[in-house]
Structure formats: C-alpha cells, structure tokens
Copies of this chain bind each other. A is one copy, B any other.
Amino acid sequence: MRNFKILKSLTAAGVALLAFAPGIASAAVEPETAFILNSFSFIINGALVMWMAAGFAMLEAGLVRKKNTATICLKNIALYSVSGLTFYVVGYNLMYLDVTGFIGSFSPFWSADDSAALAGTFDEGSYSASSDWFFQMVFVATAASIVSGALAERIKLWPFLGFVFLLTAIVYPIQGSWVWGGGWLSEMGFSDYAGSTLVHSVGGWAALTGAIILGARKGKYTKDGRVAPIPGSNLPLATLGTFILWLGWFGFNGGSVLSMGTAEAVIEMANVFANTNMAAVGGVLAAMVMTQILYKKVDLTMALNGAIAGLVSITAEPADPTIGMAIMIGAVGGVLVVIAVPLLDKLKIDDVVGAISAHLVAGIWGTIAVVFSDADATLFVQATGIVSIGAFVVVTSTILWLALKYTVGIRVNEEDEVNGLDKAELGLEAYPEFGPSS
C-alpha cells in the first residue's frame, strides 16, 4: 500500500499538466478504447447469454419425467449447435446484411471484416465484427430453446432438430430483419430493446403451434375433462436452471445496449442490470402471492416461471423504467403466468414447462409495457409489431410443423412415449441407478 502515495502524486502532476489543455482532458473516451469496450461488452455479455442454454437445459430436465430427461438434455445441446450452424451459414446475413425492408441477404457464410479498425479507424460506436456476430448468434439459440421445453416428452429428436434448423435459418432471421436489421417495423418506430417479441414471443409462437399440432402427452387430459398433473422429476435442477437464466439475462439485456464506450452507455447498462434483476424479483413475488391466494399454497414451479416471466416482461425496455416500474412490469408478468398456465390447460394445449405462458404471454405484455416508459413508443405501433411478427411466425411455423408431420412424422409412437424417450430415442437412461422410470 506504500506505493499508493507515489501513484497519487504522479496522478496529481498529470492533472496539473492537463490543466493547460482542458479540452483534451474532458474529451470523450479515446476512440480505440471505446472500440475495445464496445467489443468486450458483446463477448462477455454474449457468454452470459450462451450460459442461458444451460439454464434452459436444467429447467427442462427438472420439469420432465425421469424417463425423458436424457433426451431433453440432448435436445438442448443439439438445438444450440444447430442454431449456431444455421446462423453462420445463412441466418446472420439474412437478418443484418443489406436489409431491404422485409429481408436481408441470402449470401451464405458470414465472415468477419475488421479492416477499418485494424487500419486504425474507429467510427463512433464501432466494435469487432466477431463480437457482434457471437452476440447475435446466442440470441437465436435462445429463441430455439423456448420451443424444446413446451414440446418435451413426445416429440421425435431429429424432426425437432429439423424444425430448429428451419426456424433459425429462415423464420427468426426474417422477422428479426424487420426490427433489428433496420427493416419496415424499425422504420415505423417499433421498439423491442432485447427481444420480448423478437426472441421470446417468436419462440413462444413456434412452441404454441407445435404444441397444438403435436397434441398433448398421453394421459395429460382425461376423457372426463380433468387435467392430470404430471410433476417434474427434479425440482432443484429446475431451480438451478432458473437461476442460470436469471444470470444469463444480465447479458441478454445488458449486452443489448450494444455499446459500452461512453458514460451514457454504461449508465444505461447499469440501469438495465438493475431493472432486469428487479423485474425478476417482481415476477417471483407476484407469482408466490398469486398462488398463495388462489391455491393456499406457494407453488415452486410457478415462482420459477414467475421469475422468467418477469425477465421476459422487462426485456422489451429494460433501460428506461425506474426500478419501481421494473418491479411492477415484472410483477404483472408473474401474475400473467399464473393465469395463463391453467388457461392453456383448459384449451388442452400441453406445454410441459410453461414456456408459452412465460415467454409468449409475458413477451406480449412486455412489448406493450414499453409505452409506459418510452415516450416515443405508441400502443398502435407496438401492437403492429406484436401482431405482424406473431402472424408471420404462426403461419410459417404451422407450415413447417405440418410439413414435418406429414413427411417424417413428429411424434413418437405410443409405446415409446410410455416407455420414455430416453430408452426409445437414445437407448439409455438418465438415472439408471435410481429405480425404474415410470
């Protein structure tokens, strides 16, 4: 600690010298430094978003039955991999390159170009090409992750991955180009900061059409109209998955500032971190209170879904609200999920993990809630975005699901469903020493 004083006096000397050149002293961040900070924000926040893949895997592994656990683990690591491949081959350019209103470029195989920066030219807000690509790639994987949970326990592995391939190669990038690619919805003023609609609702719509076309799990809805509860097999894993998603969401929303090279950007990023955190808090507490009131007991899985719904709700605008508003926005999300889960069951739409409620319903709410804190957002434009993207995804994913259904088939046979997908599709068990899978 002795050297502290030396440094201090040197600093003082430096400051004194700078007094003769105040304009330089108060200048903005040096351009190359800003470039570094912008790029680093993308990769470190992107790594947190990649971590969400583990969160979805654990959440879903905890909420399915033992006999389908290994399969859902495989689906999650596979869908992440498929998403990455397609986004490299076609997705990124379709979403971001030469977007002409409704679609980008079909030019395949994205490649990095950092020549300007390497030549010493740093435009305001610029960053390394790969850092941006990496950050965008982990987003498309998130959208795909939402689908796997809803359709668990009865969908075939390879057809599911086929859907993921087409969702991430075509459906996600095209609608993404409308907003983040600078297309027509962006020009109209539609605002979706980190993807309540573009990521979460898209995954939710694809899951909804899939759940309807695929049908419910055997035994979920009895002939006399009852809903048979099928409890998740490993709730600590589901809890872990939720905490992982919560942590990853700091990167998801925080990285969506898209820069960190100015004081304004880091102030915004800090607001995003705090609001993201507190929306999840609101979602948890609202879901707990709701289930206590409705069912006289607190439901752990609803509390977990409340956290996720809170996170989804704030994702469309995590920067502008005050912390109090963020808590409220998240809490409404938490309430909605408690209402939506039994409602879907009434409609006999079987969503194994509550993904449609947490991602689609809360995603719509979050996109609307932008109008409360962003004066430039209007209810009409926000609704236009929700409806147009929703319609596009419903139509395209319905076509894809039906095409898969009537060609390769999407559902395992009844015997395999009863015995579990792990035995049927993988030929192994997730917990071979923990007694028979029921």
Chain A residues proximal to chain B, CB less than 8 Å? 1, 3-4, 6-7, 10-11, 13-18, 21, 23-33, 35-37, 39-40, 42-44, 46-48, 50-51, 53-54, 57-58, 61-62, 65-66, 69-71, 73-74, 76-78, 80-82, 84-85, 88, 109-112, 114-115, 117-120, 122, 128-131, 133-134, 137, 157-158, 231-237, 239-240, 242-244, 246-247, 250, 254, 260-267, 269-271, 273-274, 277-278, 280-281, 284-285, 288, 292, 295, 297-301, 303-304, 307, 320, 322-324, 327, 425-435, 437-438
Cβ-closest 8 pairs across A and B: A17-B23, A14-B27, A54-B243, A3-B118, A131-B270, A130-B270, A73-B239, A10-B120
Are B66 and A262 within 8 A (Cβ)? no
Give the most central of A13, A31, A271, A431: most B CB within 10 Å. A431
Q: Which residues of B contact A28 (CB under 8 A)?
A: 10-11, 14-15, 32
A44 contacts which chain B residues (CB < 8 A)? 44
Q: Which of B50, B71, B119, B431 contacts A6 (CB 8 A)?
A: B119
B73 touching A431, Cβ below 8 Å: no
Shortest distance in angstroms between A341's beta carbon and chain B's nearest beta carbon? 14
CB-based nearest B residue for A9: B120
Partner of A266, one of B35, B48, B262: B35
Partner of A263, one of B16, B117, B158: B117
Do B111 and A298 have beta carbons less than 8 Å apart?
no
If A111-B322, A118-B263, A266-B39 touch, whether A233 touches B431 (CB-CB below 8 Å) is: yes
* Residues in chain B near residue A433, CB distance under 8 A: 65-66, 233, 435, 437-438
Q: Which listed residue, B7, B74, B85, touches A281 by the CB 8 Å rule?
A: B85
Indicate the member of A21, A128, A425 with the most B CB atoms within 10 Å.
A128
| CB <8 Å contact, B23 and A13 | yes
Task: State whether A43 and B297 are in contact (beta carbons under 8 Å apart), knowing that A14-B26, A33-B29, A33-B30 are contacts in the complex.
Answer: no
Instruction: Give every chain B residue within 8 A of A80 (Cβ-Cβ).
Output: 281, 284
| CB <8 Å contact, B15 and A27 | yes
Name the B residues within 8 Å of A322 (CB-CB). 111-112
Q: Is the interface of A mostly helix, strand, loop or mixed?
A: helix
Nearest chain B CB to A43's CB is how many angstroms away? Answer: 5
Q: List 23 A-B contacts (CB under 8 A).
A: A3-B115, A3-B118, A26-B120, A33-B33, A35-B266, A36-B261, A36-B265, A43-B254, A50-B247, A58-B240, A61-B239, A69-B236, A74-B298, A77-B304, A78-B288, A80-B281, A88-B323, A111-B322, A118-B267, A130-B270, A158-B292, A300-B428, A434-B435
A77-B35 in contact (CB<8A): no
Residues of B contacting A295 in the complex (Cβ-Cβ under 8 angstroms): 427
| B7 touching A274, Cβ below 8 Å | no
Q: Is the CB of A1 within 8 A of B320?
A: yes
Q: A88-B323, A235-B73, A236-B58 are in contact. Are A6 and B120 (CB under 8 A)?
A: yes
